[in-house]
Amino acid sequence: MVFDRKRAETTPAREERTTSQKVHVIACGAIAREILAIARINSLDYIDLRCLPAILHCYPQKITPELDKAVAEARERGFDRIFIGYADCGTGGDIDRLCEREGIARLSGPHCYSFFTGNEDFAERADEDFASFFLTDFLARQFEAFVIQPLGLDRHPELKDMYFGNYKKVVYLSQEEDPELQKKAKAAADYLGLDYEYRFTGYGDLGQELLAV
């Protein structure tokens, strides 16, 4: 977790939680910033966070094998309580099968766009957003590294229409109201030749689920 000097100087010292008392959260690196913020704001000192590389976002078939390894390592370290900080994330139910086998839970919903929006709200807007390409704060920051380069658009810009020809708009689901990130998201929409829509979501269902853990 992030060390907050001011908080440490003004908060009475508390006994450090043991490994068995903590909840080991194995999460996608793309939401690490948000998990740390929620934990800090709500003093969730019971969370022990480990993040897998965010680039797995581009290769969903690799997510569950990496989670399987991380769960085994957490068991070896003595963690009794483990929580998966992923939604399904394109794994076709593989994460659910892992969770069932290990007796652990994961974030609700199909992907981060859904739980940041709020899973119920996202489902209700499914028809409206059918032809939308979503960005989060992370993807707005890392658009080139996580969209342009993996799709090869930096080398073959002619593929842009092939990948995005059926999309109508970019929807930026914003966790923090950051004008610079809004500019980046708008630039991404312009690059793709799509309309742009901004929606401030905050942390959506992510905060509620971490509190429930």
Of 63, 80, 107, which one is at a domain's C-terminal end?
107
Is position 208 within any domain?
A: no
Q: Which residues sit opposite 28 in a β-bridge?
A: 52
Of the pLDDT bands very low, low, confident and very high (cuts 50, 70, 90), residue 210 is very high
The H or E element containing residue 209 is helix 205-212
Its pTM stands at 0.87
Q: Are residues 16 and 94 both part of a single domain? A: yes
Is position 64 within any domain?
A: yes
Residue 92 has, within 13 A of its CA and on its CB side, a CA count of 4
Cβ contacts of residue 22 below 8 Å, gap of 6+? 46, 47, 48, 79, 81
* Strand ranges for the chain from DSSP E: 23-28, 47-52, 81-85, 105-106, 132-135, 169-174, 195-200
pLDDT of residue 213: 86
Q: Are residues 98 and 122 both part of a single domain? A: no
Write down the mean pLDDT value for the chain. Answer: 92
3-class secondary structure, 75 = helix
Q: Are residues 86 and 180 both part of a single domain? A: no
**pLDDT tens readout for residues 27-84:** 999 999 999 999 999 999 999 999 999 999 899 999 999 999 999 999 999 999 999 9
The whole-number average pLDDT for the span 126-135 is 97
Q: Are residues 103 and 164 both part of a single domain? A: no
Q: Are residues 82 and 122 both part of a single domain? A: no
Q: Are residues 11 and 95 both part of a single domain? A: yes
pLDDT of residue 19: 74
Higher pLDDT pick, 97 / 213: 97
The whole-number average pLDDT for the span 110-139 is 97
pLDDT of residue 185: 98
Of 107, 128, 150, which one is at a domain's C-terminal end?
107
Cβ-count burial 168-177 (b if 16+ within 10 Å, e if not): ebbbbbbbee
pLDDT of residue 51: 98
Is position 76 within any domain?
A: yes
pLDDT of residue 190: 98
The whole-number average pLDDT for the span 12-22 is 60
CATH of the domain at 90: 3.40.50
Alpha carbons 63 and 112: distance in angstroms, whole number: 14
Q: Are residues 101 and 183 both part of a single domain? A: no
pLDDT of residue 20: 67
Is position 142 within any domain?
A: yes
Q: Are residues 61 and 129 both part of a single domain? A: no
**pLDDT tens readout for residues 132-161:** 999 999 999 999 999 999 999 999 999 999
pLDDT of residue 15: 39
Domain that holds residue 87: 5-107
Is position 158 within any domain?
A: yes
Q: Is residue 150 within 8 Å of 58, Cβ to Cβ? A: yes
Domain count, the chain: 2
Q: Are residues 55 and 80 both part of a single domain? A: yes
Is position 128 within any domain?
A: yes
Of the pLDDT bands very low, low, confident and very high (cuts 50, 70, 90), residue 16 is low
Given a cut of 80, whether residue 116 has pLDDT beyond it is yes
pLDDT of residue 46: 93
Q: Are residues 172 and 94 both part of a single domain? A: no
pLDDT of residue 10: 36
Q: Are residues 103 and 187 both part of a single domain? A: no
Q: Are residues 93 and 140 both part of a single domain? A: no
pLDDT of residue 27: 98
| Burial (CB count <10 Å: 0-12, 13-18, 19+), residue 102 | middle
Torsion over CA: 33, 119, 85, 17 (sign): positive
Alpha carbons 35 and 86: distance in angstroms, whole number: 12
Of 88, 107, 126, which one is at a domain's C-terminal end?
107
